[in-house]
Amino acid sequence: MSELRTWPTSYGPIVQRKIYANLFTEIIRQNKCVLCAACMAVCPTNAIVILGETPRLTGVCIKCGYCYYACPSTTDETFSGFSEELSRVETRVFGVEREEVFGVYRKIIVVKEVEDPLATVEEGVIRRLMMFGLDKGYFDVVGFPGYGEPVTKYMLMPPRGKWEAAASIARSSEELSRVRLKPLTPGLTYNSVRGAFEELIGGFFYGVDPLRVAVFGPPQHIRSVWRMRFSWSEHKKLSKTIVFTASYFYRPVYAYKDLKTLLANKGVNLDMVEDWVFHPDGIEFIVDGNSVKFSYSELDSAIYKGFRTIFDPTGEFADISVGLLNNVDGVVIIARSEEGVKLLDEAIGDGVLEPVDFDLDVVLDGLRGLYGGG
């Protein structure tokens, strides 16, 4: 944690907060960026643009520092990081501290897989929960990285590769039911929130109900919500707009250009890929009706580097986390917050998902195993 520079003036001390230059030096250049786009979404002058899968300063920086203090990988004078401040963070997020290595949980259930060819197993389940949340008025919009309706109007630089995930939004369960999920790349999650906010004129205007957004994405991205709320600026416009979060358990997320090059060297053109399936031992790509499978270790060098710097196998700061475990037949759902339990209970009660019998000890051991224990 570095000291902030303070300048004495006749009006009192002026604190020089950290700005984009610090974000670039400490995070982006050190390959600690997870491409969540929180920095881009909070910048008041739209000075940050994603170029070559990297947040770059291309506009006028007024040195407000918002970008630095929205980034899940930064620390500052009042926040020394998620792991160092675990009890304080969890008490503020969930009202309790963890008793398990995989984080706070209020409820764990296992449900049957749902039929959803346009999603991974985990996102198929999350899709159902989010659709239910939209229908029941838990939130108004869902933002996610995927291949849905991209908020390109606010992206300045939309994705260029065919399978480069875009920050997307769905305004109804019908809209969400049609989108393709299972993103291969990080997908700039928070651009979806900013896009939703600006497009739907949510917010803090007199007489207008604040927009309520649910976000789902990789565990690393969910942390940005809390980093924003805990910073000196709080980023209320964006962070308070987010009323619900869901995460899938960690799985590899790739840098598009690196994955494209790696696959090209193996004779596969990523832009010609028609579909893919995540298997426990690798990814199967469908090209021209043929199947080509690569193990995760073969694709390892294309993982977006920042994802290696935040260890969070289960989405520890999401209201709901969804994932698969060896030796557990079905999809595991962890409800961590009271709101997560409420949504889950109501969805199960309405028959949105089908619970299956399971042995809690086996699931707990499996979750601990993701952290090297169990």
Q: How far is the CB of 149 from ligand SF4 (least distance, A)?
A: 21
Closest to ligand SF4 by CB, 179 vs 188, is: 188
Rounded distance, CA 283 to CA 183, Å? 12
37 touches ligand SF4 by CB under 6 A: yes
3-state secondary structure of 274: strand
Compute the distance between CA of residue 177 and CA of residue 4 in angstroms, rounded to an integer.
Answer: 47
**Cα angle, residue 32 at apex, residues 26 and 36 outer, rounded to 5°:** 110
Residue 222 binding ligand SF4, by CB under 6 A: no
Name every residue whose Cβ is closer than 8 Å to that of residue 123 and which is 6 or more positions away in sequence.
116, 146, 181, 182, 216, 248, 322
Instruction: Give 305's DSSP letter.
Output: G
H/E stretch holding 247 reads strand 242-248
Q: How far is CA 208 from CA 105, 141, 202, in A?
A: 35, 16, 7
Task: Build a one-symbol-per-residue string for 63-102: x at contacts with ligand SF4 by CB under 6 A, - elsewhere.
Answer: xxxxx--xxxx-----------------------------
DSSP state of 25: I
**Contact track, ligand SF4, 252-291, x by CB under 6 A:** ----------------------------------------
Smallest distance, Å, CB 124 to ligand SF4? 26
Chain position carrying tokens 């501290």: 97
- Residue 357 C-beta: closest distance to ligand SF4, Å: 40
Cβ pair 166, 150 in contact under 8 A: yes
The C-alpha atoms of residue 21 and residue 39 are separated, in whole angstroms, by 12
**Least spacing, CB of residue 254 vs ligand SF4, in Å:** 16
Which of 127, 229 has the CB closer to ligand SF4?
Answer: 229
**Total residues interacting with ligand SF4, rule: CB under 6 A:** 31
Does position 111 bind ligand SF4 by CB under 6 A?
Answer: no
Q: Kindly state the smallest distance separating residue 213's Cβ from ligand SF4, in Å.
A: 17
Let me know: does 320 contact 249? Beta carbons within 8 Å: no
Decide whether 47 or 334 has the Cβ nearer to ligand SF4. Answer: 47
Binds ligand SF4 (CB under 6 A): choice among 1, 3, 4, 19: 19
Least CB distance to ligand SF4 at residue 19 (A):
4
- Which residue number, 176 or 238, has a Cβ lying nearer to ligand SF4? 238
For the beta carbon of residue 81, count every other beta carbon within 10 angstroms: 16
Least distance between ligand SF4 and beta carbon 346 (Å): 32
For residue 28, the 8-state DSSP code is: I
How far is residue 217's CA from residue 250's CA, in Å, rounded to a whole number?
A: 10
* Options 6, 30, 31, 45; binder of ligand SF4; rule CB under 6 A: 45
Among 14, 51, 62, 286, binds ligand SF4 (CB under 6 A): 62
Q: How far apart are CA 24 and CA 55, in angstroms?
A: 8
One of 35, 130, 246, 268 touching ligand SF4 (CB under 6 A): 35
| Closest separation in Å from C-beta 267 to ligand SF4 | 32
List 247's β-bridge partners, or say none: 217, 321
Do residues 105 and 95 touch, judged by C-beta distance below 8 A? no
CB of 225 to ligand SF4, least distance (A): 12
| Tokens encoding 336 | 């961590």
User: Where does this chain touch ligand SF4 (CB under 6 A) — which range of 43-51, 111-119, 194-202, 326-334?
Assistant: 43-51
Instruction: List contacts with ligand SF4 (CB under 6 A).
Output: 19-20, 23, 27-28, 33-39, 42-45, 47-48, 55, 57, 61-67, 70-73
